[in-house]
Structures are given as structure tokens and as C-alpha cells.
Amino acid sequence: MILKKKIPNDFYKLFRTKNREAYMQFVTTIYEENNEVYASLGLTQEECALIIENTIEKSKIVWQEEDDMEEGETPDALFPSDSPSGMLNHLIRWGWLKSDFDEKLNTCVISFPEYSQLYVELFKKLQSDDDSRERESMLSIYSALFTYHSDNEKNNDILKSALRTSKSLGQLLSNMQDGMRSYFDELSSQKHFIGIQQVLVEEINNSDSKKYAILTTTDSFYRYKEAVKELISEILNENDEKKAVLLKEKNSLETGTLLQKRNEYRLQYCEDTSRIVMQLEREFDMIERKYNKLIEQKTVFAKRALARIHYILQEGVSEEDNIIKLINLLDRSEKKDEILVEMRERIRFSSQFKNITDNSFAGRRDRGDGAFAPVMLDEEIDAREQHMTDFVPKPLYTRNELQSFRRKNTVDGVFVATEETVQSVEDLEKLLFLWQEETEERLAEDTVSVDGEIRSEDGLTYSRLVIGQNK
């Protein structure tokens, strides 16, 4: 029987209740406790009710009163809906849990139906921030292919395992890309430096960044790329050679014999091997593209964060643009025309106002005969062009200056921003550049955190930035 058909009709009532988050936490906790029970019989109904009670107290769950009961449903006078036993009865009645009477224990024992286990496993993933993705790694793919290549029996189940791992890794990279896009949106919405810092700290310390650090160091794609591609090529070549031998034998075998059937089975096995390896190769190419895209997104994110910080410090960000404010003030002024004339004379506009017509755009120029005619350089123009390099942006501070600033505020290998760290605007800019290094070129062993907010006597506000080293 298909597992879906075993699900009771009331099973999905859990998702329609106001307390669905609490119910999800209840079944998850009971499931974990049930798996740790040494007795094979499982948890009793009284033990499950006690687990629910402890979960409510530990998680400080505020129970919400449900709406009117559905038709045909009667209240339980002995176990109200807002009591631990009443909550447990709801889970049993909906089909999330199964209660069976045990004659030896003289009480009811709780178990989980197979379909319910699948949902509870999903709840566990949704409620946790698990960064252990050992099965979703380049090392796992390489190990599976190496094992298959070294095994004389050539079990295709090993290749299927490598294919599943490749798909999981590809999905993981896609999820990390989606997470990075959300950080882009959060960064763009920030209008203050403190908000940008919070986004950066959250991005650095989240589980995706930890996975990213592993994917770019110990489990780097490019660390195993060539070895995996070489193994795929060798497996395909060996399989083609084996297939050619079997096809040659096929012509000499009598139809319907045991040898002929065995030969046919081996040929089909070779076809399956080729199909799996080709799928694996396509997945591997997809992983490479997603991997490179993720690295590109990380770099762009760091640059955008720095650009956003510079903009806020230099220009400021407000709810309304300054130019729009100026226009609104001019509209409300009784001396608008006089102000515009005065502004035109001071700013020296090329023209006051001009309507755009067809003649406003440059037309096609006559090419003429195209003959080269040398022109003598104007000394004044040449002199002016020599000063064009003055407009090229120069770094505000050298790397030695930034390193000196970091060493000055480092104690026992830990950088800490204190009240004495920022004594001027230059010190604040150096602190921001230090932020840039930690977001764009951060070492995997660095730990970054923000501990409070500091306001200097000059009115400068900045976070208490802490950068340490893992031991």
C-alpha cells in the first residue's frame, strides 16, 4: 500500500491550528526522546504528557485559545485541550502518534507511524541550524568514485550514492545562493552604519558561511576537481571496454541459454553504469558553475557592503533625498523665480531650460575622405591633461597604517574596539577598512562578533567589534 494512503484525514489539522509551532515542537521532542529510550517498548502515554509539560516550561510556550471546535468534535472534560494530556490526545487523534495498550506494563505505549516519522524528520531540520553536511561534500563524491574504481565487483549502488551526493551538494549550493540574495536585500535596506554591521555579523556567523568556509578550504571543489574528472573518465573507458567484450561474446552465444541470459544481464548492467556516470558528470559540471557563482556573490557582497558604508559616512542616508527636499522647498517659496536665477548665476548652468526635440540629439557626421591629417598639440591642453591623474582615486590609508591600527588595539591576539580606539574620523575609517578585510579576505579561523555599541565624546557611534582567533 502506498504510504500516502495511510495518512488519516485529520492528520493535517495540526497545520491549521493556532498552536501549530508548539505541536511541531512537541512531536519533535517526543520523537527524539523515544529514539533514546533503551527499552524496546517505547515511551508510555504518561511519560509523553510529562515531556510536553517540560517542553512548555522550558521553551516558555504561550498557549493560544483555539477557535470553536469543528462539527462532531466534543470537548474532553477529563483532559482539556490546553493541558499536556489534552495536547497529547490531539496528536493521537490526528494520527501523528499511535497509542497501543501494553498488557505487561498495564498502560498505553506511544509509537510513531511511518508517514509521521517523515514529517517529524523534516521538523527537526526546520527547527535546527545543523551545519554538519558530511554527506554533501566533494570528499564523499571522490571517495565513492575511488571505491567503485578500485572494487573488482563494480557495484552500481556505489555510483548511485555518488550521484545522490552530487545532487545534494548542488542543492546545498543553490540554497546558499538564495541565502546570499536575501542578505543583498537586507544590506540594501539599511540606512545606518550599525544596521550594516549587524547584517555583516549575521552573514559571517550563520551556518551557510561555515559551510562556505569548508567548501573553500578542506573540502574545496578545486581540490578534488581534477581527481574526480579523471576517475569519471577512467570508469567510462573501462566500462566501454567491458561492453565491447560482451558484445563480441554475444554473437557466439546460443539464444535462450544460461550464458546468453547472463551476457544480456551484464550488457544491461554496463548500460546502467554508463547512464549513471553520465548523469554524475553533468551534475559535477553544474556544481562547478554554482560553486563559481557563489564565490562571485560573496565577493560582490563584500564590495557592496563597503560601498554602502562609504556612502553613509560621506553622503548620509535619509528617508528623503536632499535634491527632492530642495525642489519641495523651492515649490513652496514665494521667491522661487528669484532663487532660480540666483542659483543659475552661481552654479553657471549652460542654459536655463530647454525642451528636448529631434534636434537635441547628435546627428550622423560626414565621414569625408578619411585622410589622416596630423594636428599640432596645444601646450595648454597637454598641460591640463597631465593633471588628470589627480582625479584618480587613491587609497585613503596604506596597508602598513591599517596593520598598525590593528596591532595598536590587539591584546593577547584579540582585536577589541574600545572607547579609546576611535579618537578621530580617521580612526573610524580605519575601523571600517578593517571590517572590509574581515568580510572580503577573512581567514577561516577568524571569529567576529559585536558586543554592544560605543558613543565617543565627539558624537561618533560605532560597534564594539571583536576579532579573535580560534584555538
CA distance 98 to 116: 10
What pLDDT score does 277 carry?
92
Digits of tens for pLDDT over the chain (471 positions)?
677 888 888 898 888 888 889 999 999 999 888 877 654 567 888 889 999 999 999 888 888 887 655 555 555 556 677 788 889 999 999 999 988 887 777 888 888 888 888 888 888 877 765 544 445 678 888 888 998 988 888 888 999 988 888 888 888 888 887 777 777 777 777 777 677 777 777 766 666 666 777 777 777 778 888 889 999 999 999 999 999 988 888 888 888 888 888 888 989 999 999 999 999 999 888 888 888 888 888 788 777 777 777 776 665 545 455 667 777 787 888 888 888 877 777 765 555 555 556 666 566 655 555 555 665 555 554 554 445 444 444 556 677 788 888 888 888 878 888 888 887 777 877 877 776 676 555 554 456 776 677 777 766 677 777 777 654
State the DSSP code for 321: -
The fold adopted by the segment(s) 3-127 is Arc Repressor Mutant, subunit A (1.10.10)
177: which residues sit within 8 A by CB, 6+ positions away? 290, 293, 294, 297
Number of residues that make up the chain: 471
Q: How far apart are CA 129 and CA 449, in angstroms?
A: 18
DSSP characters for 255-312?
TTSHHHHHHHHHHHHHHHHHHHHHHHHHHHHHHHHHHHHHHHHHHHHHHHHHHHHHHH
Confidence (pTM): 0.46
pLDDT at 355: 56
Three-state DSSP at 73 gives coil
- Residue 423: φ, ψ to 5°: -105, -10
Whether the Cβ atoms of residue 435 and residue 200 lie closer than 8 Å to each other: yes
Residue 276 CA: distances (Å) to CA of 21, 135, 164, 263, 433: 41, 18, 10, 20, 49
Domain boundaries for CATH 1.10.10 within the chain: 3-127
| Residue 134 pLDDT | 43
At 278 the pLDDT is: 92
- The residues, ordered by sequence, that sit 6+ positions from 217 with a Cβ below 8 Å of its Cβ are 444
Helices (H), 151-191: 156-189
pLDDT for 276 equals: 92
306 vs 444: CA distance, rounded Å: 20
Number of Cβ within a 10 Å radius of residue 273:
21
